Structure 1
């Protein structure tokens, strides 16, 4: 296999190799579609092999030399059976590029983000596929804490890796940091324990959060009830995804069974959190964000917040937020987009419907951490001692919203399909054609298309950033029927296109 770059120790990557052949053992295999908008995800080993991971690390090391003052980074891995081997292959590539690597071992993504500050290094590479099914792998990367890569950095990385233009450098080094998990949990628990008695069910979906969440929240005086907290990379119960209704229903049943005050659901790498109230009702993370925003705005008048385009319209219409002078802007969905916009605008917090919450000082450091979210929600409960989570939930103006739904659409086709959807609804607006029985009030195209009609009912179609699929969300402030009208409008359009397949979950 041609190398074509004497400064690189690796051959040029290819996308199609047969496993258990000499070429597969010696040549980097990398499917180009694995380089996504703000992180990298592949099926292992069919879309990337260990040699491909080495080449990825070599490319990332070269990117660090371009973007960071010091080419040093924290590297960690999640609980999947193959994640440690992938991490070690990544490290060899990073060191070949002259990067200084701090290996923190088994970690949550926020543990790795915390370690950037604890060790005073600019970069991070967390080996995780988050909530993706077993068989997926990936890397969340950054070169400038607390930010992670966006499209520009991912394009730079993709070009270096696939074109094999990296340069070998001396100076690469390795240091294992054995106690970072303990240092991370100590940082979260250095505040006083909660005085209010709070019983919380912790659902971890057999992901890595099970190693961290029970110990951390118990240390803060919370009575914890474990639900699927034993790490098991086969995910025998359901995927660790707080947007997955199967996970939320399981959590709801456990909350009602145990009489808990609240339930928390954490995703596979611990940077997201979902909530179930004491009556067992799922509170989608966007509405939970409105409640947290109310609590923060009461302490910090005229606070600024960021919400992603999948989120509820209540951020704009909630009378309590309006009275407190809170200002919310909607931004692109995706943890890197939201994190960057929250940090750069100086907003107090950013809220994403998927459960990524971003807190700037004084609560956090700007990055997403599911445990920080859970602690913040418990603080809200403690400061409202006469109210249950259900009481707070009921205080929101009523609206009917869907879970996040994802019909299959290939990575090579999903963006073109979304462009078609944008053109369709734009034409409807131009022609005065009604959508879901009403005229279009406005269209937002910052990330896919969000269509709002006269009565405030809205629907969103966008491309998934981390797997082959689209994203569909609908909400109505009027009725469940109106929500379903909007979904039917969108679903009928998407179902008419052969590129769109089955949904992961559906109304």
Structure 2
């Protein structure tokens, strides 16, 4: 009996458990599931583009389950008559570029990854020539798989492809043009860059991009792919991961540090002093790089960005448009603004997902790193954001919703919050609320919102004064305790 593949949808991706090992979790991203979903993707591409003969590229990150799942995916595609390009270990952005590079000219691409999730998880990201698929597209693919409504053709084939070599040369050329050094072949000579790949797929950036261009990469770490992720979570938002790359930069007296997530669609940086450039700071840096050619452009971010970042962007003549969390949400909003006649060159999340209009609005960690490297070859990157201020305190609390209809219950909480805030003299709703409800105080703010997929209400708090986050949390508490189906343990623990 075929499982209901709707359980595997995670927004615009497929995510599931691919390996047994964690108590209470059972494998649902099976070889059979990815076989069917791959066939459904091929059918989707044929329907969308009215095309029978299709070329589909397949790549994966360093996860332990990658080889087995990729074999099943390729089996499904070959069975239904696709010309498959096996790209082996790759980055997510490079898979999209296989649809752009003329020598590959793929009609679609599948990346097998679950980003920074635990080792036993895996998933699928889908692309065609228009970019990453949206959640509505994923729903259609699942519908095809669930109903087994595949378009079958004969004469499928599989060919090995050196996509990462092509992609790396592409990034090299961007650096050469951007730095424009006298030594054109080695424009990064004299620049010391430490890279942390987190044992994911990002090691190529050292070996195939930076070293050939003359950079000193001494001290780069965790470049070997290892799906056990033995050193730290491959996630620029993880404190341990950022502490590790910061220490490496200081130890080796580097000019710059770069850190990638598992599949290299996210990155953050470290300045020469060992200070992290992540979350709000990576947005500020990316915005300043974009400003060089696009003064006054609009920057779309996720909803949890700080007031200090907002002021920084405004001070530098840029417009700040806060939107919903989720990399596809900010990307699609940026595309929508451009279509409406509003110039928007950058869509970026605090997580490190950054998509530039000049790069197909593709969230590409290596592309952002390349833009940063070009700047670092000319001047210390921290100079660009030296006037960015930071909140004194920040805190994230997560409230589990113990209700079967957790989406509706979350909406009830947020609707009630609006009524509560309207009666409080010391609270004011933010001007724009695209996601959840952001409430402003004279020394900070909180944002209560629904998780994109889980039965959780995350609450982000920032304050400009000592003890301010706890003060704001105490103000929230009388409201939150009205809702019996919310687990407020984290809130109680914080304010005690």
2:110 is the alignment partner of 1:125: yes
Query: Hey, what does 1:208 align to over in structure 2?
Result: 201
- Cα deviation, 1:282-331, whole Å, max 9, x if unaligned, reads 2323322112312322432222322121223345322xx43553223222
TM-score (norm 2): 0.83
Q: Is there any run of 5+ residues in structure 1 with no aligned partner, and where?
A: 2-12, 16-29
Query: Hey, what does 1:14 align to over in structure 2?
Result: 3
Question: How many residues get paired?
Answer: 464
> 3-state DSSP class of the match of 2:446?
strand
Which of 349, 373, 376 is 1:381 aligned to? 376
Contact residue 401 and residue 485 of structure 2 kept, 8 A: no
Which of 197, 212, 215 is 1:219 aligned to? 212
Aligned CA distance change for structure 1 residues 177 and 445 (closer, same or farther; 3 Å): farther
TM-score (norm 1): 0.81
Q: Is there any run of 5+ residues in structure 2 with no aligned partner, and where?
A: 20-26, 177-185, 339-343
Residues of 2 paired with 1:410 and 1:89: CA distance?
37
Query: Hey, what does 1:9 align to over in structure 2?
Result: none
Contact residue 463 and residue 471 of structure 1 kept, 8 A: yes
1:135 shift after superposition: 0.4
Query: Hey, what does 1:396 align to over in structure 2?
Result: 388
2:49 is the alignment partner of 1:68: yes
Residues of 2 paired with 1:141 and 1:307: CA distance?
23
Aligned CA distance change for structure 1 residues 468 and 377 (closer, same or farther; 3 Å): farther
Aligned CA distance change for structure 1 residues 33 and 463 (closer, same or farther; 3 Å): farther
Which of 198, 215, 221 is 2:191 aligned to? 198
Query: Hey, what does 2:183 align to over in structure 1?
Result: none
1:165 shift after superposition: 4.2
Query: Hey, what does 1:433 align to over in structure 2?
Result: 424
Which of 366, 371, 381 is 1:371 aligned to? 366
1:407 shift after superposition: 6.4
Query: Hey, what does 1:236 align to over in structure 2?
Result: 230
Query: Hey, what does 1:151 align to over in structure 2?
Result: 135
Query: Hey, what does 2:72 align to over in structure 1?
Result: 89
Contact residue 42 and residue 137 of structure 1 kept, 8 A: yes
Superposition map of 1:307-386 within 5 A: 307-318=301-312, 321-322=313-314, 324-346=316-338, 347-361=344-358, 364-383=359-378, 385=379
Residues of 2 paired with 1:214 and 1:458: CA distance?
44
Which of 159, 165, 172 is 1:182 aligned to? 165
Contact residue 18 and residue 30 of structure 2 kept, 8 A: yes
- Cα deviation, 1:317-353, whole Å, max 9, x if unaligned, reads 22xx435532232222222222333344342121111
Aligned CA distance change for structure 1 residues 462 and 61 (closer, same or farther; 3 Å): farther
> 3-state DSSP class of the match of 1:348?
strand
1:14 shift after superposition: 2.3
Contact residue 346 and residue 357 of structure 2 kept, 8 A: yes
Contact residue 81 and residue 157 of structure 2 kept, 8 A: no
Which of 462, 465, 468 is 1:482 aligned to? 468
Which of 235, 240, 248 is 2:242 aligned to? 248
Which of 434, 445, 462 is 1:458 aligned to? 445
> 3-state DSSP class of the match of 1:117?
coil
> 3-state DSSP class of the match of 2:16?
strand
Residues of 2 paired with 1:313 and 1:218: CA distance?
39
Residues of 2 paired with 1:369 and 1:489: CA distance?
40
Query: Hey, what does 1:7 align to over in structure 2?
Result: none
> 3-state DSSP class of the match of 2:460?
strand
